[in-house]
């Protein structure tokens, strides 16, 4: 039997989203279940079982399940990872605490230091030293390595080990020898080498990345192995793939070896879906807006591709203060994430002011409206009171919402302390959460020198379409796009993402003195590894596309820009082209360049991928009236309006509707005010144009 069905699964803080697509039948089904945080796999298995039943698909027809998870992020945020040991070069055991030797907030005398992932008693330095060029200066003390491992495993009871030696990114020999010695004595110990997980300059970031990888590795091993076993027990014989933070997908084996690369796997899927949809409708400048139950994520998508960066800070003490988290060397989709989701809790602060988030009700107990024991009003409860949600049609009518309980909680918890009416407080929650998201988006675009008015907002996630109209007006955007199946679009992103590999090698050198034979050797090594991984992930060798780039800067600078290398063989002939590409990339980033200054390359990067799937989320139209009825809906700037409510599944392409209107689908709802007209395009996307929006 030919397997043609693929399933994408995204576990969020509140809901687990699923999408099933069968290429042969052209069938797409979506599902949404409350996340089961105590046993995340349960929601996955129950959701898959239901999708198979509804779509008339048997488990043996499923080719693959593609999965993304917030497990790694939550492990780092909650500090619930393994007890980790670090073996490093003698004299460098405190590099994690010294960090960058700066205060992330010089104005806060009480700023907390960034928590260290490995306690000092679990960090041991051993004799042995490499020079900056990789030549051995002092031989590795093998007896000291063995003794350090004994102390960490038998006395400190570490569950995983990181090995990070000075200059190992140039020459990994000492790290590899230490690993071999330790595995001879402790063959089941999970060991991470900094030269494998982040072979780049900057020992603090490189060693920290290795430690975080070791910190989450035992938990990820257990989770993915259990998920594979649970899926196999259902009769599943296909492949389980995992979403990477970079937006690609990889095998379970690779995910278990380098779980730190999954840190942002869930949010990345939404950006990949937005990129796929934007490319299909020729929208070249898009702000991807993914708002779920716990957080809101914004990402720039230009020319059908999301912005990518090669460093990330995990577990920041303050989301808007660089340096307050754990700096990591990994490739991630460049997005900003804030604590504004449907489950974000409204409260009164010490000054008697209304505040929203960052605390979230999650899925347990959830918003008050869910009737699962939640007692604190949330954004979702405000959405219900403002008319954006239908209490009888939430999740297609499967989950009724308790309006009376919401009004009671809003009155007791917020309206009385603030001496305001319920609806005024609910409108205030809307204002605050909209401004929080708008401020974060403005900051994200300003850092990149972009004007938000030149972009289209693409909204998805369960709460994204609900708040898209208000956010677009606050950002002075003139267009909003809401794709079909918006409430589960991140899970759709798993199905269109391509298997990919991002690799890097550190070789700092002035451009004029680069040894191009060395560079060619680095790329040969990276490409060999990438092709092997992509073939193991089901790729076709003839379809693999390879892209080369380098991190470059003017000599003396402390930051780099990524520069694409010219096509063709790697060699000295490309030097002039590399310099020209650097000048263009630098001007694009900073609106200027510095002619005559020397340029240096720091890291050499390779991105390899196979093409993603070209699938559609279009649905068959239902034979029901398009208009469900009318209800009172509050729109910022207009107050309460009588809006027509439409069944999105009954709207034909080409249909044009003037606001005020609300468009309901099973997993989400999209409302627009009187100044907005909405068209259903050929791909069943809702395209909303806001009248009077200022031109860029």
Virtual CA dihedral for 679, 684, 685, 686, nearest 10 degrees? Answer: 30
Given pLDDT bands bounded at 50, 70 and 90, which one contains residue 620? low
Angle between helices 489-496 and 265-280 (to 10 degrees): 80
Nearest to 647 by CA among 672, 632, 669, 617: 669
Tell me the pairing of strands 545-554 and 500-510.
unpaired
Q: What is the mean pLDDT of residues 246-259?
A: 89
Alpha-helical runs (H) found in 447-569: 464-474, 489-496, 516-536
Cβ atoms of 494 and 67 within 8 Å: the answer is yes
Q: Which of 150-154, 207-211, 216-220, 665-669 bottoms out in mean pLDDT, i.e. has the lowest? A: 665-669
Residue 664 has pLDDT above 90, yes or no: yes
| H/E segment holding residue 635 | strand 627-635
Nearest Cα neighbor of 661 from 674, 651, 648, 649 is 674
Between 286 and 268, whose confidence is greater?
286
Q: Is the pLDDT of residue 84 over 90?
A: yes
Cα–Cα distance, 570 to 523 (Å, whole number): 8
Rounded Cα distance between 63 and 155, Å, is 46
Cα 452 off chain centre by? 21
pLDDT greater at residue 612 or residue 428: 428
CA distance 198 to 61: 38
Q: Which two tokens stand for residue 606?
A: 């390779």
The mean per-residue pLDDT over the stretch 401-418 comes to: 91
The helices-and-strands tally (H runs, E runs) of the chain is 17, 35
Residue 657 pLDDT > 60: yes
CATH number of 5-75+222-262: 3.30.420.40
Q: Structure tokens of 281?
A: 């409708």
Look at residue 693 in the predicted model and tell me its pLDDT. Answer: 57
Judged against a pLDDT cut of 50, whether residue 696 lies above it is answered with no
Confidence of residue 655 (pLDDT cuts 50, 70, 90): very high
Query: 168 is written with which tokens?
Result: 């190992």
Mean pLDDT to the nearest integer, 311-320: 78
Q: Using CA atoms, how far apart are residues 383 and 423, in angstroms rounded to an integer?
A: 11
Among 234-238, 574-578, 602-606, 622-626, the minimum mean pLDDT is found in 622-626
pLDDT at 195 over 80: yes
Which tokens is 608 given? 């390899």
| pLDDT tens column, 433-444 | 999 999 989 988
The mean pLDDT value for 254-279 works out to: 89
The pLDDT assigned to 535 comes to 85
For the beta carbon of residue 399, count every other beta carbon within 10 angstroms: 15
Asked whether the predicted pLDDT for residue 541 surpasses 90, the reply is no
pLDDT > 70: percent of the chain: 97
Residue 480 has pLDDT above 60, yes or no: yes
Q: Which of 674, 567, 558, 665 is nearest to 618 (CA)?
A: 665
What are the residue boundaries of the structural domains of the chain, listed by start? Answer: 5-75+222-262, 81-214, 500-609
C-alpha Rg value of the chain to the nearest Å: 26
Q: What is the pLDDT of residue 147?
A: 97
Alpha carbon 539 to its chain centroid, in Å, reads 24
Region 306-314 average pLDDT: 89
Closest CA to 191 of 152, 249, 231, 224: 152
352 or 87: which carries more pLDDT confidence? 87
Residue 152: its H or E element: none
- Terminal CA-to-CA distance of the chain, rounded, Å? 54
What distance lies between CA 629 and its chain's CA centroid?
A: 38
The DSSP string of 53-111 is HHHT--GGGEEEEEEE-SHHHHHHHHT-S--EEEEEETT-TTHHHHTTS--S-TT-TTP
Burial (CB < 10 A; 0-12, 13-18, 19+), residue 278, is buried
CA distance 300 to 334: 8
pTM, whole model, 2 decimals?
0.86
Q: Is 101 left (phi over 0), alpha (psi -120 to 50) or beta?
A: left
Better pLDDT: 696 or 345: 345
User: Which segments within 557-613 are labelled E, that is strand?
Assistant: 561-564, 599-609
Closest listed residue to residue 168, CA positions, set 201, 190, 137: 201
Question: Taking 50 as the threshold, does the pLDDT of residue 62 lie above it?
Answer: yes
Confidence check: pLDDT of 1 > 60: no
Mean pLDDT of 324-353: 87
139 contact partners, CB below 8 Å, separation of at least 6: 128
Statement: residue 329 has pLDDT above 80: yes
How far is residue 297's CA from residue 268's CA, in Å, rounded to a whole number?
A: 10
Confidence class of residue 2 from pLDDT cuts 50, 70 and 90?
A: low
Continuous segment of H or E residues that includes residue 96: helix 95-98
């Amino acid at each position: 039997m030919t397997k043609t069905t693929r399933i994408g699964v995204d576990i969020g803080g509140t809901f687990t989203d699923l999408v099933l697509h069968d290429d042969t039948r052209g069938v797409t089904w979506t599902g949404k279940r409350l996340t089961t945080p105590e046993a995340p796999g349960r929601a996955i298995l129950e959701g898959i079982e239901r999708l198979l039943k509804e779509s008339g698909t048997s488990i043996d027809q499923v080719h693959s399940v593609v999965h993304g998870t917030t497990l790694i992020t939550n492990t780092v945020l909650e500090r619930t990872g393994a007890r980790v040991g670090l073996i490093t070069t003698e004299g460098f055991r405190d590099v994690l605490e010294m960090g960058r030797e700066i205060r992330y907030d010089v104005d806060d005398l009480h700023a907390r230091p960034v928590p260290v992932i490995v306690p000092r008693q679990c960090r041991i330095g051993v004799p042995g030293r490499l020079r900056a060029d990789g030549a051995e200066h002092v031989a590795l003390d093998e007896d000291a390595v063995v003794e350090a491992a004994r102390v960490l495993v038998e006395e400190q009871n570490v569950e995983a080990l990181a090995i990070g030696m000075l200059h190992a990114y140039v020459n990994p020999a000492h790290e590899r020898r230490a690993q071999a010695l330790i595995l001879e004595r402790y063959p089941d110990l999970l060991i991470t080498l900094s030269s494998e997980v982040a072979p780049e300059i900057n020992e603090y970031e490189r060693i920290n990345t290795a430690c975080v990888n070791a910190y989450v590795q035992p938990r990820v091993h257990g989770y993915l192995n259990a998920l594979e076993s649970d899926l196999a027990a259902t009769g599943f014989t296909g492949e389980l793939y995992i979403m990477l933070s970079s937006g690609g997908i990889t095998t379970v084996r690779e995910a278990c070896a380098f779980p730190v690369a999954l840190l942002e796997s869930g949010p990345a899927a939404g950006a990949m879906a937005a990129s796929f949809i934007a490319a299909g409708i020729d929208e070249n400048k898009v702000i991807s807006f993914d708002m779920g139950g716990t957080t809101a994520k914004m990402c720039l998508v230009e020319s059908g591709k999301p912005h990518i960066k090669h460093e990330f800070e995990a577990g920041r003490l303050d989301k808007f203060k660089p340096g307050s988290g754990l700096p990591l060397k990994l490739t991630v989709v460049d997005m900003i994430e804030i604590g504004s989701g449907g489950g974000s809790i409204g409260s009164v602060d010490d000054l008697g002011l209304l505040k929203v988030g960052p605390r979230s009700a999650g899925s347990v107990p959830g918003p008050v409206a869910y009737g699962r024991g939640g007692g604190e009003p949330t954004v979702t409860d405000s959405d219900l009171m403002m008319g954006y949600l239908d209490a009888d049609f939430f999740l297609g009518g499967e989950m009724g919402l308790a309006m009376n309980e919401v009004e009671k909680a809003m009155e007791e918890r917020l309206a009385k302390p603030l001496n305001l009416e319920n609806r005024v407080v609910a409108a205030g929650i809307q204002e605050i959460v909209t401004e929080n998201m708008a401020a974060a988006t403005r900051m994200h675009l300003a850092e990149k020198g972009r004007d938000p008015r030149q972009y289209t907002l693409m909204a998805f996630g369960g709460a994204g379409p609900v708040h898209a109209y208000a956010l677009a007006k606050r950002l002075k955007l003139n267009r909003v796009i809401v794709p079909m199946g918006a409430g589960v679009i991140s899970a759709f992103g798993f199905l269109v993402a391509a298997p990919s590999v991002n690799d890097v090698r550190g070789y700092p050198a002035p451009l004029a003195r680069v040894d191009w034979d060395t560079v060619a050797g680095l790329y040969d090594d990276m490409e060999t590894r990438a092709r092997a991984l992509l073939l193991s992930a089901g790729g076709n060798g003839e379809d693999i596309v390879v892209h080369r780039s380098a991190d470059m800067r003017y000599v003396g600078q402390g930051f780099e820009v990524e520069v694409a290398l010219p096509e063709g063989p790697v060699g000295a002939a490309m030097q002039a082209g590399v310099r020209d590409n650097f000048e263009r990339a630098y001007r694009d980033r900073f609106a200027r360049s510095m002619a005559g200054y020397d340029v240096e390359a720091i890291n050499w990067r390779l991105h390899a991928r196979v093409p993603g799937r070209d699938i559609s989320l279009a649905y068959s139209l239902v034979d029901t009236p398009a208009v469900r009825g009318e209800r009172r809906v509050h729109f910022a700037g207009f107050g309460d309006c009588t809006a027509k409510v439409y069944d999105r599944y009954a709207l034909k392409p080409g249909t044009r509707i003037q606001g005020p209107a609300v468009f309901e689908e099973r997993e989400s709802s999209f409302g627009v005010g009187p100044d907005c007209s909405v068209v259903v395009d050929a791909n069943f996307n809702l395209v909303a144009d806001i009248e009077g929006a200022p031109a860029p």
